[in-house]
Amino acid sequence: MKPYIIVLGNEKGGTGKSTVAMHIAVYLLNQGFSVGTIDVDARQGTLTRYFENRKRSNEDGSVKMPIHFAILKDNDENIKVAQEHEIQKLRDAFSNQQQCDFIIIDTPGNDTFLSQTVHSYADTLITPMNDSFVDLDVLVRVDKNDFKQMKPSIYAEMVWNQRKMRAIRGQKPIDWIVIRNRLTTFYNKNKRDIHTVLEALASRIGFRLGEGFCERVIFKELFLSGLTLLDLEAKKVELNISHVAARQELRDLIALMKLPNVQ
Residue 143 DSSP symbol: E
Calpha distance 12→10 (Å, rounded): 5
CA dihedral 189, 193, 257, 125 (to 10 degrees): -130
Distance, CA of 135 to CA of 52 (rounded, Å): 29
Q: What is the pLDDT along the chain (263 residues), one digit of tens a residue?
A: 579 999 999 999 889 999 999 999 999 999 999 999 999 988 889 999 999 999 998 888 888 999 999 999 899 999 999 999 999 999 999 999 999 999 999 999 999 999 999 999 999 999 999 888 888 888 888 766 665 667 778 999 999 999 998 999 899 999 999 999 887 766 667 778 888 888 888 888 889 999 999 888 888 889 999 999 899 877 778 888 888 888 999 999 999 999 999 98
Q: Would the pTM count as exceeding 0.85?
A: yes
- On whether the 4-257 domain is CATH 3.40.50.300, my answer is yes
